[in-house]
């Protein structure tokens, strides 16, 4: 069975509200491996206004995580990315090279407040593209202005945005209406990437298998692989998704 790639997770220890320790990170990686995940793009929160990030520390911590994963005998590939909380400083920070992209590609993962207005998300997409990067909108199901508005998702994609949803939401963790909406988006082909957004080794652990089974059953296995592996491979290779 080909491995899945998790494009959104908070597995890097002690850098944000995700994993609290190396021990917890290793538990998360173990769970991911059992879930058929073979590679993870680690996406610690990046909040330009708070300045709480230390990118050199992230890189050192990643090297330590790689060594520890090897030591305990788990086969997992890691890449570094970040989940950027979008503010109007972000395009300048991108141009100044202050922002980590996804796995060294030209894609950036961005999130917004849940109550953000649609016009703000649209202009963010435009500004990120104008600064030379492709925005991946994190967990699209969280934004009130987009719920049950497939035409807005279509418009964002037409403008060049890539759409990410969480595996847990597809199988119903955010409730039935979100599940139904995401099924509609799947049917229309408006979802590009699926990640776990895992934050811990317990209630927000990195699960993808049930989502894979769901998409395979409702649609087909090739489609599930496209969203859980092949599009992520394109991302890592910096190819168009
Ligand atoms: Fe996240």
Task: Please provide residue 74's backbone torsions phi and psi, each rounded to the nearest 5 degrees.
Answer: -100, 135
Give the pLDDT means over successive 10-residue stretches in the chain (241 positions): 97 94 98 98 84 83 98 98 94 90 98 97 97 97 98 98 98 98 98 98 97 98 98 98 96
pLDDT of residue 164: 99
pLDDT of residue 98: 86
C-alpha 186/C-alpha 55 separation (Å) is 35
Ligand 1: centre distance to CA 150 (Å): 22
Give the number of other Cβ atoms within 10 Å of residue 225's Cβ. 17
Give the number of other Cβ atoms within 10 Å of residue 60's Cβ. 11
Ligand 1: centre distance to CA 43 (Å): 7
Ligand 1: centre distance to CA 34 (Å): 21
C-alpha 213/C-alpha 194 separation (Å) is 13
For residue 76, the enclosing domain spans 4-236
- Determine, yes or no, domain membership for 241: no
pLDDT of residue 50: 61
pLDDT of residue 10: 96
Ligand 1: centre distance to CA 57 (Å): 19
Ligand 1: centre distance to CA 9 (Å): 6
- CA distances to 75, 78, 207, 236 from 212, in Å: 20, 21, 10, 20
pLDDT of residue 55: 87
Ligand 1: centre distance to CA 3 (Å): 21
pLDDT of residue 178: 98
H/E stretch holding 145 reads none
Q: Is the pTM of this model over 0.85?
A: yes
pLDDT of residue 233: 98
- Determine, yes or no, domain membership for 51: yes
The set of residues, in sequence order, having a beta carbon less than 8 Å from that of 108 and lying 6+ positions away, is 82, 84, 94, 99, 101, 102, 128, 133, 134, 135, 136
C-alpha 141/C-alpha 89 separation (Å) is 24
Ligand 1: centre distance to CA 207 (Å): 14
- Which residue pairs from 227-230 have beta carbons closer than 8 angstroms and sit at least 24 positions apart in sequence? 227/191, 227/192, 227/193, 227/194, 228/4, 228/5, 228/167, 228/194, 229/2, 229/3, 229/4, 229/5
Taking each continuous run of H as one helix and of E as one strand, the counts in the chain are 10, 9
Ligand 1: centre distance to CA 198 (Å): 7
- Determine, yes or no, domain membership for 71: yes
Ligand 1: centre distance to CA 151 (Å): 24
Q: Where are the alpha helices (DSSP H) in 7-97?
A: 22-34, 55-71, 90-95
- Determine, yes or no, domain membership for 94: yes
Q: How many domains does the chain have?
A: 1
pLDDT of residue 177: 97
Ligand 1: centre distance to CA 40 (Å): 13
Ligand 1: centre distance to CA 53 (Å): 15
CATH of the domain at 117: 3.20.20.140
Ligand 1: centre distance to CA 45 (Å): 7
């Amino acid at each position: 069975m080909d491995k899945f790639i998790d494009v959104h997770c908070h597995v890097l220890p002690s850098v944000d509200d995700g994993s609290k320790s190396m021990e917890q990170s290793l538990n998360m990686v173990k769970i991911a491996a059992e879930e058929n995940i073979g590679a993870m793009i680690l996406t610690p929160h990046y909040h330009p206004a708070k300045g709480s990030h230390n990118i050199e520390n992230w890189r050192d911590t990643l090297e330590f995580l790689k060594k520890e994963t090897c030591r305990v005998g788990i086969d997992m590939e890691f890449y570094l990315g970040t989940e950027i909380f979008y503010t109007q400083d972000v395009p300048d920070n991108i141009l100044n090279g202050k922002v980590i992209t996804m796995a060294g590609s030209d894609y950036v993962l961005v999130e917004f407040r849940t109550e953000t207005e649609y016009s703000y998300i649209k202009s963010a997409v435009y500004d990120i593209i104008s600064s030379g990067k492709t925005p991946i909108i994190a967990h699209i199901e969280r934004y009130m202005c987009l719920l049950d508005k497939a035409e807005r998702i279509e418009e964002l994609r037409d403008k060049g945005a890539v759409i990410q949803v969480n595996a847990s939401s597809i199988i119903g963790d955010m409730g039935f209406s979100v599940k139904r909406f995401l099924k509609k988006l799947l049917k229309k082909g408006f979802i590009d990437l699926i990640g776990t957004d895992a934050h811990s080794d317990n209630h927000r652990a990195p699960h993808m298998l049930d989502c894979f089974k769901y998409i395979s059953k409702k649609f087909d296995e090739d489609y599930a692989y496209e969203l859980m592996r092949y599009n992520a491979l394109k991302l890592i290779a910096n190819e168009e998704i």
